[in-house]
A = this chain, B = another copy of it.
Amino acid sequence: MIHACIRKGSFQDSVSLMIISRELSQSPDVDDVSVMMGTPANKSLLEATGFWHACFEQATPNDICVAVRSQSCDASIIAAITAQLDEALKAVSAGQGSGRSLPVARRFASAEQRLPEANLMLISIAGEYAAGLAHQALDSGRNVMIFSDNVTLEDEIALKQKARDKGLLVMGPDCGTAIIAGAPLAFANVLPRGVVGVVGASGTGIQELTSQIALNGQGISQAIGLGGRDLSAQVGGISALTSLQMLADDPQSQVLAFVSKPPAEAVRLKVMSAMKAMSKPVVALFLGVPVSQACEGNVWLASTLDEAARIACLLARVVQIAESQPAVAGKKIAGLFTGGTLAAEAAMVLAGLLGIHPDHGHLHGTMLAHDGHRIIDLGDDFYTVGKPHPMIDPTSREQLILGLAGKPETGVLLLDVVIGYGAQRDPAGSVASAVRQLMAQRIRHAPVVVVAVVTGSEQDPQCRSQQIATLREAGILVVQTLPEATVLAHHLCTCNVVTSPASTSPLLSQVSVINAGLRNFAQDLQSASVPVVHYPWSPVAGGNRRLASLVEQLG
């Protein structure tokens, strides 16, 4: 049978109550306990799950409904359970051992007074009330993150349109994760700060992507959540487009990563074209949408979260390396390869970046020739008739390297260095010597940046790490893979060094939060030193919507 009672006027968040329900269910003589606020939705749920009791009729959304299912008819059970409930609620409001006391404001207006610089409201109250509170926040000029679900699509559209008109951002509803200006919002991980700005329509998608970025040695500038419906045809990606623009203007975010489940096709195209219009490299993962092309202009397409993270990290390394190099924007790439397949792969990757098809003619070992860029296979017959292969004899490549002294239009030299049995004793040494001479001649009028990859192992006679050291001593940039080298070469020739004086969104520089709903979220923000005031929201006028609306007009 069901034993029941009501605790009047003691609003608590749903998660705390659900956890308390679970604990109370372990009590002796009890089958199951359900503790919920008396909202209309919860009352239906109590009925559907067999916990209904006639006394709940009287409960308002501000009252706690306590239902106990038990074999026993002993009415003292309910008293024992409510006593335990009161203990548990006391523990919750005492902050569960958190060291600092949490600033709390019982009303929205006092929360605003307490933290006038607050520029974000984090909302995790029952979904049926979330939209009303979000409108209040937007009306007062604040951005909003709605963790709550069960917000209607109509409310979401209205909120996002209002935000767009006011130059504000709405993350969510059902937005589980965000990291803004270092502030961990809701389900966020503690991550190193870095250059990758993330936008995602999926909470665990953002969490796994950012975790993998950290595992790969890079960090996060921002992670903006959208909520799972933002890319639907109805919402039309309003927050996605706002977020992309904010990150485009954010100097910290040098590389962007976008993650969502399959969006409406029209919205995907709109988002893709916004990404292509940016001057920053972007990785996009539309999970479940087959990838037919690795990159479209500045936009890289990934198939899995770890792949998206890996590409983001590659791009992050590239933009960071390029920062400290002499400016060669607008100049051309000369790729001088001793390995035929390496030349073919570099040509393939560069063709993808340039949006062209690689040259299949291969006249004189030319694997790619486009707009002044050239990738050449020096192992081609044209270069080796009567001469040893360039992996054995460095002469032909040395001469071509020196010849670049008189070609100031070449800004980047891309090289492979193949070691191992059969190869020269010190290929890096010969490359380094030619590059030093080239750089010495070029320094006067036009700089040249040299990028190399080494093929071979640490155990090879020439020793990989020693060859890399020799190259680096000559000022050559050495990266781990050929695609990374090619992307770096292309980035150096195309990156726009003029930093546009865009006005960064203040939200991305410093976050101050009014937290309405789950107390834990405020505590987490506090422990991360983010200014926060907790607003233990409860339904206005006992949850009576008509009365609430009146109170609001009067207020």
In the assembled complex, A243 has its CB within 8 A of some CB on chain B: no
> Would you call A188 and B386 a contact (CB within 8 A)?
no
- Residue in A207, A388, A461 whose Cβ sees the most chain B Cβ within 10 Å: A207
Residues of B within 8 A of A458 (CB): 214
- Scan A199-238; emit 1 where CB is below 8 A from any B CB, else 0: 0001111011001101100000000000000000000000
- Given known pairs A18-B388, A261-B344, A344-B288, the reply for A423 and B187 (CB within 8 Å) is yes
Tell me how many residues of A have a C-beta within 8 Å of chain B: 82
- Given known pairs A202-B340, A339-B203, the reply for A187 and B420 (CB within 8 Å) is yes
> Would you call A287 and B421 a contact (CB within 8 A)?
no
Residues of B within 8 A of A290 (CB): 292-293
In the assembled complex, A409 has its CB within 8 A of some CB on chain B: no
Residues of B within 8 A of A22 (CB): 393, 395
Stretch of A83-91, A274-282, A298-306, A491-499 at the chain-chain interface: A298-306
- Given known pairs A207-B420, A341-B203, A421-B524, the reply for A304 and B386 (CB within 8 Å) is no
Stretch of A432-440, A477-485, A542-550 at the chain-chain interface: A477-485
- Scan A447-487; emit 1 where CB is below 8 A from any B CB, else 0: 00000000111111100100000000000000011110000
In the assembled complex, A358 has its CB within 8 A of some CB on chain B: yes
Residues of B within 8 A of A423 (CB): 187
Residues of B within 8 A of A293 (CB): 290
> Would you call A212 and B393 a contact (CB within 8 A)?
no
A302-339 at interface with B (beta carbon < 8 Å): 303-306, 338-339
Q: How far is the CA of A207 from the CA of B482 in the complex (A)?
A: 13
11 CB-based A-B contacts, threshold 8 Å: A189-B419, A189-B456, A189-B460, A203-B341, A204-B339, A207-B418, A207-B456, A287-B345, A288-B348, A294-B303, A421-B521
A176-214 at interface with B (beta carbon < 8 Å): 176, 184, 186-192, 202-205, 207-208, 211-212, 214
> Would you call B305 and A345 a contact (CB within 8 A)?
yes
Residues of B within 8 A of A215 (CB): 457, 480
- Given known pairs A190-B420, A393-B22, the reply for A342 and B455 (CB within 8 Å) is no
Nearest-neighbour CB distance to chain B for A257, whole angstroms, equals: 14
Q: How far is the CA of A173 from the CA of B410 in the complex (A)?
A: 37
In the assembled complex, A19 has its CB within 8 A of some CB on chain B: yes
In the assembled complex, A385 has its CB within 8 A of some CB on chain B: yes
Residues of B within 8 A of A341 (CB): 202-205, 208, 259, 261, 287, 305
> Would you call A482 and B208 a contact (CB within 8 A)?
yes
In the assembled complex, A422 has its CB within 8 A of some CB on chain B: yes
> Would you call B455 and A211 a contact (CB within 8 A)?
yes
> Would you call A287 and B344 a contact (CB within 8 A)?
yes
In the assembled complex, A520 has its CB within 8 A of some CB on chain B: yes
Residues of B within 8 A of A339 (CB): 203-204, 207-208
Q: How far is the CA of A530 from the CA of B63 in the complex (A)?
A: 84
In the assembled complex, A349 has its CB within 8 A of some CB on chain B: yes
Residues of B within 8 A of A421 (CB): 184, 186-190, 521, 524, 528
In the assembled complex, A166 has its CB within 8 A of some CB on chain B: no
In the assembled complex, A364 has its CB within 8 A of some CB on chain B: no
Q: Please list the 10 inter-chain residue pairs (A to B) with the smallest Cβ-Cβ separation, ordered nearest first.
A: A204-B339, A205-B341, A187-B422, A189-B420, A190-B459, A306-B481, A202-B341, A421-B524, A18-B388, A208-B455
